[in-house]
């Protein structure tokens, strides 16, 4: 493909596994009050994430967990367990904000989330994934000020690129686009009620095409109950998928921050894109 920025010569397919915590913040942020509704997200903290950690450690692959600040406040031990197991913790909004916000409302939430994640892990946060794709140039500017090196929110490409969001010298951030439909869990489990075995086949066919075209693969799953991947059968197919990926030559697993650093160290492999 003519527009392809090549990672060839380095590896054939970079793989980034991402787990979006999506705990009770998902309902609280939308004003859904009943305690029972919050239990869907609590499943992430109590079952889904511990199950994912155990499986990912068994498979010895890196992963990034994107955590809303509110969920970190409610479930600090789960966030500490992610970090203690050696996985990256990234930011994912405060109350999983999927609605428009003026900068004066958004900026303190970005800072508050960053602060609680840093406190719990003792490390700087390096990346952010927007809840439901919502972001602005202000979002990117604040993240840069906080020292973030990448954003993993956009849906417009299947390779990394430098995203220029303003005219200033520093108005750019590394973008690791994520495909939230075919390489995700929620469309299959929420809308089409696809059996786990068929989801595995969908993911495998996506991977085959990506591998053939030497693109990159960003898988996004949510360990909550309902439409998430934290239940035993759904975690099992995630493990089968990881085992399938490992069987292919030239596949290299990264956490999002590891891959972002690789991109920053290899600028000639990365395109720059200006947001209109």
- Residues found near Zn ion in the complex (CB under 5 A): 20, 22, 131
Q: Which is nearer to Zn ion, 22 or 27 (CB)?
A: 22
> Cα 157 from chain centroid?
15
Q: Which is nearer to Zn ion, 13 or 89 (CB)?
A: 89
Element (H, E) at 14: strand 13-20
| Residue 4 CB, nearest approach to Zn ion (Å) | 29
Q: Which is nearer to Zn ion, 141 or 224 (CB)?
A: 224
| Residue 64 CB, nearest approach to Zn ion (Å) | 13
Tokens 């054939």 — which residue?
12
Q: Which is nearer to Zn ion, 12 or 52 (CB)?
A: 52
Q: Give the helix ranges, DSSP H, for the chain.
A: 25-28, 35-43, 49-59, 69-74, 76-84, 103-121, 137-145, 186, 196-213, 232-246, 256-265
Instruction: Please give the residue whose beta carbon sits closest to Zn ion in the complex.
Output: 20
Closest to 249 measured CA to CA, from 213, 215, 216, 211:
211
Closest to 22 measured CA to CA, from 223, 186, 189, 191:
223
| Contact in structure between 123 and 87 (CB atoms under 8 Å) | no
| Residue 225 CB, nearest approach to Zn ion (Å) | 15
| Residue 99 CB, nearest approach to Zn ion (Å) | 13
Q: Which is nearer to Zn ion, 7 or 127 (CB)?
A: 127
| Residue 96 CB, nearest approach to Zn ion (Å) | 5
Q: Which residues contact 39 (CB under 8 A, 6 or more apart)?
A: 225
What's the rounded Cα separation, in Å, for the pair 256 and 242?
16
Q: Which is nearer to Zn ion, 20 or 239 (CB)?
A: 20
Angle value at C-alpha 115, between 110 and 118, nearest 5 degrees = 125
| Residue 264 CB, nearest approach to Zn ion (Å) | 25
| Residue 130 CB, nearest approach to Zn ion (Å) | 9
| Residue 116 CB, nearest approach to Zn ion (Å) | 17
Angle between helices 232-246 and 196-213 (to 10 degrees): 20
Q: Which is nearer to Zn ion, 19 or 257 (CB)?
A: 19
208-236 b/e (C-beta count within 10 Å ≥ 16 → b): eebbeebbbbbbbbbbbbebbbbbeebbb
Q: Which is nearer to Zn ion, 22 or 97 (CB)?
A: 22
Q: Which residues contact 36 (CB under 8 A, 6 or more apart)?
A: none
Beta pairing partners, 88: 64
């Amino acid at each position: 493909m003519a527009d392809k920025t090549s990672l060839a010569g380095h590896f054939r397919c970079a793989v980034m596994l991402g787990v979006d915590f999506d705990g009770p913040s998902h309902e609280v942020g939308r004003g859904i009050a009943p305690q029972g509704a919050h239990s869907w997200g609590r499943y992430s903290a109590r079952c889904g994430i511990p199950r994912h950690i155990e499986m990912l450690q068994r498979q010895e692959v890196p992963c990034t967990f994107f955590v809303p600040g509110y969920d970190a406040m409610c479930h600090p031990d789960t966030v500490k367990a992610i970090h203690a197991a050696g996985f990256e913790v990234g930011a994912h909004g405060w109350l999983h904000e999927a609605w428009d916000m003026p900068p004066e409302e958004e900026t303190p939430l970005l800072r508050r989330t960053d602060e609680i994640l840093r406190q719990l892990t003792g490390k700087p946060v390096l990346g952010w994934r927007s809840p439901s794709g919502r972001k602005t140039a202000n979002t990117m500017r604040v993240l840069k000020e906080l020292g973030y090196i990448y954003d993993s929110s956009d849906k417009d490409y299947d390779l990394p690129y430098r995203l220029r969001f303003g005219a200033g010298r520093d108005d750019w951030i590394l973008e690791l686009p994520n495909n939230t439909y075919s390489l995700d869990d929620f469309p299959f489990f929420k809308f089409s009620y696809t059996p786990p075995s068929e989801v595995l086949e969908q993911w495998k066919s996506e991977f085959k095409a990506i591998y053939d075209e030497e693109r990159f693969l960003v898988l996004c799953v949510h360990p909550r109950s309902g439409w998430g991947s934290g239940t035993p059968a759904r975690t099992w197919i995630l493990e089968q998928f990881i085992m399938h990926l490992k069987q292919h030559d030239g596949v290299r697993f990264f956490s999002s921050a590891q891959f972002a650093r690789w991109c920053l160290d290899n600028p000639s492999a990365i395109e720059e894109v200006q947001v209109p």
